[in-house]
Structure 1
Amino acid sequence: MMDDPRFQLLIARYGRNLAIALVVVGALLLLVGGWVALTPPTTTATEQRTAATASTGADTVATVTGDSDLWERGTELRNNPVYLTNASPALAVEPQTTVPEGSSVTQTVRLRITATRDDEVFWTSTETLVNETRTAEDGTATARTEIDVRDLEARLATLRERLAGVGSVQTELLLTVEYDTGRYAGTLDASAPLEVTDRAYWLGGELSDSQPHYATTTRQVSHSPNWFAVLLATLLAALSLTGAWTVFATRPEELDVDAIKQERHRRKYADWISKGSIPMWVGQNYVELDSLEGVVDVAIDTQERVVHDTRRDLFAVISEDVVYYYSKSGDWDQSSWPRMELSGRSEDDTVDVGGELSKGLGDLPGRDELAGDDADSSSADVPDDATDDGESDEKSSHGPGDWDDDVWRDL
């Protein structure tokens, strides 16, 4: 890439600004990568937590009051799976509700008797056993009610007798609790069948229910940094800084813009250019063009070739007696008569193409003829026959073509 004239021309024109821009971009990319690495993304998560729970349940309690060889009189039976009617004819139901401290609680226990046929109710009777409203102390509210099981069994026997062959009779306990915590309010419901026979009774399930209350909370969740973005930013920063260093290393201020343009055009129009040697005295008219591209345009228009004289670094198209040329070194005369150092002389001792001889010609042959005034001043010492036509003819035998070859041979 460094050998590409287009890139070199870009560096020569905008190298300093480009390098500064690349340094700034690289620094910004490093800052971005560091910021991404040190500030991982966060999201807001919404969560529900249990703020309060209301729950209720009922205990069954029966005290042994009758004659029994299984329990002593006065024994309290709690939550037994079955109770004997003769031993403990009364069943106590004790609902207990747990709610936040200070909540208002209303507990209701009802006894419901239903008559069904083919699982469809055709008669029902509901009796409220207790309905109490209390304020929960220490987070608990309680109530109590008793059922005379013998009286209930007699009522059920009468009902079954009346509905014999028609339907069946079922009995169940219903527990309803209404509560208000000040922030949350709700209702709890529970039911369980109460099985009663002529010898025993029992509760066929649990009288219990609960209701949680949720509160919505938000929290910030931190995630892992985007390491791909960090790596990409670091890589781009490294490339940018490397590019800036490369631009500085090429020393843009020392690049020859004209030489770069010439090389760019030479590569672009290589098919129209041939290397060769152009005589200094070719043509009669010389047209200097601003660029090699202009010379190629002339070659295309005239159907000629562009000749690249590598000795003089000159490009020319010769069309009849007109020479169209371009040289970054200067005009036609400057490229034809370059400053040169002759043997044993300094750089300032040069040949003047106007015909005058500089002081540094030394012992070059024919210096008297080219010495100008010095030649005139010494003509008195020259014999007359030395200026005859023969001698003049000998001097004129050194034509421009020979001088051209001698100059370039010395170079």
Structure 2
Amino acid sequence: MPTDDATTSQRLRLRIASNVAAVTAVCLLLAAVGGFVAAQTFTGPDTTTEQRTVATWTTDGELRHGAVVQRDTRAFDAGAVLRNRSVYFSSVTPTLNGSYVFRHSGDAEPATVRTDLRLVVRAVEVGEGESVLWRVSERVASERTTSLSPGDEFAVPYEFNVTAQSELAERVRRELGSSRGEVQVRLVADTAVSTTVAGEEFAGDRTAALEVTPRGDSYAVSATTAGQRREPVTERVAVPVEPDPVARYGGLLAALVGLVGAGLVAYLDRAGRLDVDPETRAAMELARDRDSFAEWISTGRVPPAGDDRVVTVDSLAGLVDVAIDSERRVVEDTDSGTFVVLDGGTRYEFRPDDGGGDVLGPVDGHGGGTETAPSDGGRPADDPLAGDGEEPPSADE
């Protein structure tokens, strides 16, 4: 039985011949997709628009602070300047001074800047959130400029006596009759700025604060600023679109391959070039069926029919159905190539070399088998064991 005689070419031809419509459809779909992709690269717009930054404007603010030592000590000489320290000593540096500095840079025109400095004395109670119990505020400085060029600094100086502000807080506490809360002295800098950048007007506000916390013989200082801010100026500009060579030429190639493939399949089908001779087709289909039902098939040598009644089944699939229903195995006889199921006194056979019917053809019941008289050692038709006028058992029984 030539179950493995088919070449790779014959297998491929059989697959294509069995699925001509599907293969042609896939080729045409490939051609359509490739043509569409290639057409998009040829007919698409030559330019596209993008947002580009054409100018930038950056602003920044800083609170500088320091104190001058009022008298000589072993640690500091009188007149020494202490700058940007986190803690100052009240007895030798009672007065805090410094400046709020604003600067801007970038592609801006000269800016208009106004800065107001306020001194706020307050008592706060810290819990889940900061609660202000009372406050006293006064303006200490205010300056304005209309011509601050990019890269320049605008500085507003300040000076206040921390000890005097602490005494003010104590007077307020006595007036209120309560010492609740922590006393804070805050220098607040409010800045308004406006300018023009690349023809576009910008305006904004900034706030910075210097926190001063008296602690008896010293006071702690910390600065809080908004940090550096960057304002971009953008505009929509047209930029050329570079065609994707992979999409363009890959699409053309896919379209060409799809069209040639569809035409070639149609030509080979009409010319009969896909035909496989029936014997080879049967062998390939049997091999495929044999692989599908391998778990139900064993190989060996099967004895002659003898007195068994023989039922010939038209396909291996039908014989496997018989084996499943009768809880038997299919035995492939290595000498004759016949597939056999032995069920009591009945012998079910599938002979691939008989040429009787399609190997994968439709089956009836347990394979649509038909009973034939045994050619060698079988029971004659008038055998009394066959019963009075009864037909031999079929695959359905």
Would you tell me which structure has more strand in proportion to its own residues?
Answer: 2
The normalised TM-score by structure 1 is 0.45
Which one has the largest radius of gyration? 1
Structure showing greater relative contact order (alpha-carbon pairs closer than 8 Å, 6 or more residues apart): 2
The normalised TM-score by structure 2 is 0.46
